[in-house]
Structure 1
Amino acid sequence: MKRLTAAIALAALATGCSQIPSYQAPQNDLPPSLTLADNLKLDNQLNDQAWWQSFADQQLTEWLEQALGYNRDLAVLDQRLVQAQAALTRGQADRLPNVIGQAGLGRQQTSDNAFPTNQGAEFDRFTLEGLVSYEVDLWGRVRAQQQGLVARYQALASDRQAAQLSLTSAVAQHYFSLRALDEMVLIAQNTVVSRQENLQLRQRQFELGRLTPLAVQQAEVELSRVEVELIRLQAEQDQQRNALSVLLGHNPTQQLAMAQSHPESNTRFIDLTLPPLQLDWDSQRLLQRPDVIAAEQRLQAANADIGQARAALFPSLKLNALLGFSSVDLNSLFDSDALQWQANAGLTAPIFNGGALRAQLQITEAEQQIILLDYQQTLRQAFAETLNAISQLNRADAQLAAQQRQLDALRKTLDLAQKRFDAGYSSYLEVLDAQRALFDAEIAMARTQRDLRLARIALYKALGGHSQAAT
């Protein structure tokens, strides 16, 4: 017994010989801040809110809540988290002693030839035993396994956050694209009505001899051009609506309808105001992006895998103990004479395995380098996405101002062209050119309004959004 106790004490001292490499966080070369246009004011005021609340759009918020509640991909990831949590619990059990109990009863006949006296025996046997086994974590194998499970669970949780961010971004993108298409369809419908009225007027003028047939044909061509554009926009509108329905967990055949109680439902898209941008702009925030966190957690898991592979090269020590009762008579099963016990320590060491364990170590070390490269690429991609979003946002804002000036100028141009034509100073072609340019500019303005919102969504997504929405 003293020898066993000494062996256990020696094993306890040896548990400090961990083979797990010391984890070093990878270096990054991110600049301290990002350059933004003067009109973009970024701060931390929304850190306690979901990022989409910055748009102050009740319909968007309502549909995003629907998407978060019914999205299949998030539901799948939730179940994978349940699996990972169960695996983590199972792994934690490996660090504890394994205790089992067993009870038995039986009757047996011994062989007459098995004893010198040629007298076999037939008797009952009753047993009640408890067995304890425990692997002493000499080299940190069990601890490395646990660290790997924790890191993989956290990586999966970050994957879930990244999927949620992608989902909310996609819903917002489709929502504003649909709102922009609604606006463009309305512009086209109003323009078709205007062109039809204009064509009727030109036909009457032709009948009165005030216009040539060419002017009437030009008016018909312009009407047809707008009708073709209207059909194209309506087809694109249906596609956006179907895509949004799928993201919200609806059947695409189910019609999406905006709640009329929301203020934005009764406001034209081009008249919606966009609140000032409020965002945490420190570039180090990229390290908190869910996909970057997941990549680093996988790097930590790979580091733990190396610890397991190294520990497999060394002997393993397992302690076993048995305590119980055994008797041929059930009535005397718990007598002191029926007590039995056993204790032993087993040392298992790899002697020859054809280099398999060394090869496994090389595999895990190479895998760690691959994951490190993936992490570095993920961080670079995050920085590139942020720069692209900032560039797009800066240019969309400047483009919107320029297009508004263009739109104002084209409206004046059309008014002047119409007056010149009515006064007989110019041909009807000038009016058609002005009408065509104004229609194209109105459509372009709706697209730029959309692009400005999409750029803002891209920037929120690139920086990982704000605080996580409720799940």
Structure 2
Amino acid sequence: MNLRTLRDWFGVVGMLGLVAGCTVGPNFVEPDSHLPEKSFFGDDGRLVGTAHLPAPTDPTWWNVFRDPVLTGLEQRVADANLDVRTATLRLAESRFQRGVAAAAEFPSLNADDKYTREQYSKNGIVSLLSGLLGPSAGGGVAPGPINEYYSGFDASWEIDLWGRIRRQVESADAQVDQAADQRRDALVSSLAELARDYMQLRGVQTQIRIANDNLKVDRDILQLVQDRQQHGLQNGLDVENAAAQVENIRAQIPQLQQQESEYINALSLLLDQPPGTLKSELGSILMTRTGPPRIPLGIPSELARRRPDIRAAEDQLHAATANIGVAVGDFYPKVQLNGTVGFDSLDIKHLYDASSLQYMVGPQVTLPIFAGGRLRSTLALREAQQQEAAITYRKTVLQAWHDVVNALVAHHLEQIRRTRLRAQADHARAALGLARARYTDGVTEFLTVLDAERTLLQADQQYATSTTNVSLDLVQLFKALGGGWETRFPDVPSETAAVPIPVGMVDSAIQ
């Protein structure tokens, strides 16, 4: 190849590079979330309860419960939870896929060294040479076995004139972002699930404590009735009713203990621990607060940036939009530069002589003419997938909005209900005291004491359940707001550490 030929080729490549600046297909535009600016209940500024806007959600929102055990458990989720670790591996997979897509932007180079020994058939195509060599050649003509040596390399490079490959890389980048947001969504969900299981565990333990406290009261009443019977002041019916009430409460405790064990095991599973591992750590009940009197909600319109599921839906829409560009690019000609340079010789001693040099270089243009409608159907498919992704994004935003409003309303109304249940429990406790006093004085029947006792037990249980629900609603609210933006995650496997690479592979050295 002389100097003029090289100059011509560089000129062609330069002009193709100028043409390659265009990119077919639609450009991605961030969708409008249509979320309100001032209030989740509309831009009239109306809020529920004591919620306010100034600050965004605290990443470590579980600290509002002021429970050191809960805080310690939450701090272990990012490293230990199996769902988060699985999402981390999927993020690594998407990054490797992006590397595969980006490799198409660069030339590919392959080395080729080979040796062959070949014997041609006398009755094969070489027999035609006998007519050219004349009668003196005798019968079939064929050379003896020959050795052929070859050493060289070949290269190819698709020039991305229309931006088809760039759209593929853009789609892969969006899929990497989607995997990262899905990992964050897995973490947010795991943090919230752990808090819910923890609150329900503490709620069950509170129910066990209430049952034991009421059991003690019922035993005292049973002893009182038995004493009155021994003194001839009461018949056996009251003793049996009191004893039945004691056994009724005792029968509730095993079921509550079963629920306690299940919640402890659920928390152990979230932290990648065998069943029962956290039993000693979670055995004691700590008094927890239901949260601050004022809940920081942040600006509603920023919810689309805080909720990882919304961000993942946007990334999916971005990838679907870029895939349209890939489909459009398939309609245009593909220009590929191919080249082969090597040395070929029948004698290895002369393999690398200048006379053994051979090469081939030139462009290859592929223009689709007829594909049976495959290209048009692919483009229509990509456009339909983009429309589906847009609907998914809209639904995800709307669902997030509903989640926040529902959690706000539930938390506010459950607080009102809890206050009234507390008043009911206080009245029921006072009523039981009066009933016991009147029964001791012989003014009222034991049935009145028994009814008061059952009413108090039910009121205490309902109040404890409501207290748990207030905490659960608050956890749900923080999850709906996208809380839990941790910056610490399990390590993403590197490209070199993911799969062992055999020694001696040229491609590994190039990468």
- Would the TM-score normalized by the shorter structure come out above 0.5? yes
SS of residue matched to 1:418: helix
Residue 492 of structure 2: aligned partner:
none
Letter in 2 for 1:279: P
The percent of aligned pairs where both chains have the same amino acid is 29
Cα deviation, residue 249, structure 1: 2.0
Cα deviation, residue 324, structure 1: 3.6
Residue 377 of structure 1: aligned partner:
395
Residue 412 of structure 1: aligned partner:
430
For 1:104 and 1:234, the matched residues in 2 are separated by: 74
For 1:358 and 1:292, the matched residues in 2 are separated by: 31
SS of residue matched to 1:372: helix
Residue 24 of structure 1: aligned partner:
29
- Matching residue within 210, 213, 216 for 1:187: 210
- Matching residue within 154, 157, 168 for 1:134: 157
Contact kept in structure 2, 1:332 and 1:338, CA below 8 Å: yes
Contact kept in structure 2, 1:327 and 1:333, CA below 8 Å: yes
For 2:450 and 2:240, the matched residues in 1 are separated by: 11
Contact kept in structure 2, 1:320 and 1:345, CA below 8 Å: yes
Cα deviation, residue 316, structure 1: 0.7
SS of residue matched to 1:144: helix
Residue 209 of structure 1: aligned partner:
232
Moved more, 414-423 or 370-379: 414-423
The CA deviation string for residues 7-56 of structure 1, in whole angstroms up to 9 with x for no partner, is 43443233234222121222222111235445345653764x43323323
For 2:250 and 2:282, the matched residues in 1 are separated by: 29
Cα distance change on mapping 1:376 and 1:441 into 2, 3 Å: same
For 1:51 and 1:324, the matched residues in 2 are separated by: 66
Letter in 2 for 1:15: A
Q: How many residues align?
A: 464
Cα deviation, residue 455, structure 1: 0.8
For 2:269 and 2:178, the matched residues in 1 are separated by: 27
Contact kept in structure 2, 1:173 and 1:457, CA below 8 Å: yes
> Please, which runs of 5 or more residues in structure 2 have no aligned partner?
41-45, 121-125, 490-511
For 2:181 and 2:95, the matched residues in 1 are separated by: 14
Residue 286 of structure 1: aligned partner:
303
Q: TM-score, normalised by structure 2?
A: 0.83
For 2:452 and 2:459, the matched residues in 1 are separated by: 10
Contact kept in structure 1, 2:53 and 2:299, CA below 8 Å: no
SS of residue matched to 1:465: coil
For 2:322 and 2:118, the matched residues in 1 are separated by: 51
Letter in 1 for 2:218: R
Contact kept in structure 2, 1:155 and 1:295, CA below 8 Å: yes
For 2:332 and 2:189, the matched residues in 1 are separated by: 45
Residue 85 of structure 2: aligned partner:
75
Contact kept in structure 1, 2:222 and 2:243, CA below 8 Å: yes
Contact kept in structure 1, 2:98 and 2:169, CA below 8 Å: yes
Residue 72 of structure 2: aligned partner:
62
Residue 225 of structure 1: aligned partner:
248
SS of residue matched to 1:138: coil
SS of residue matched to 2:27: coil
For 2:299 and 2:119, the matched residues in 1 are separated by: 82
Residue 478 of structure 2: aligned partner:
460
Contact kept in structure 2, 1:105 and 1:124, CA below 8 Å: yes
The CA deviation string for residues 323-376 of structure 1, in whole angstroms up to 9 with x for no partner, is 344445545544444443321101111111111110111111111111111111
Cα distance change on mapping 1:290 and 1:171 into 2, 3 Å: same
Give the CA RMSD over aligned residues. 2.7
- Matching residue within 467, 481, 505 for 1:449: 467
Moved more, 153-162 or 460-469: 460-469
- Matching residue within 438, 441, 445 for 1:427: 445
- Matching residue within 131, 154, 157 for 2:180: 157
Contact kept in structure 1, 2:117 and 2:148, CA below 8 Å: yes
SS of residue matched to 2:422: helix
Residue 123 of structure 2: aligned partner:
none
Residue 55 of structure 2: aligned partner:
44
SS of residue matched to 1:39: coil
The CA deviation string for residues 418-437 of structure 1, in whole angstroms up to 9 with x for no partner, is 23333333333332222222
Contact kept in structure 2, 1:54 and 1:278, CA below 8 Å: no
Cα distance change on mapping 1:83 and 1:399 into 2, 3 Å: same
Letter in 1 for 2:254: I
Cα distance change on mapping 1:406 and 1:134 into 2, 3 Å: same
- Matching residue within 196, 200, 220 for 1:177: 200
Cα deviation, residue 84, structure 1: 1.5
Instruction: State whether structure 2 residue 246 is matched by structure 1 residue 249.
Output: no
> Please, which runs of 5 or more residues in structure 1 have no aligned partner?
none
SS of residue matched to 1:322: strand
Contact kept in structure 1, 2:27 and 2:322, CA below 8 Å: no
For 1:251 and 1:46, the matched residues in 2 are separated by: 33
SS of residue matched to 1:94: helix
Instruction: State whether structure 2 residue 100 is matched by structure 1 residue 90.
Output: yes
Residue 220 of structure 2: aligned partner:
197
Q: TM-score, normalised by structure 1?
A: 0.89
The CA deviation string for residues 401-443 of structure 1, in whole angstroms up to 9 with x for no partner, is 2223223232222222323333333333332222222221211
Contact kept in structure 1, 2:188 and 2:484, CA below 8 Å: no
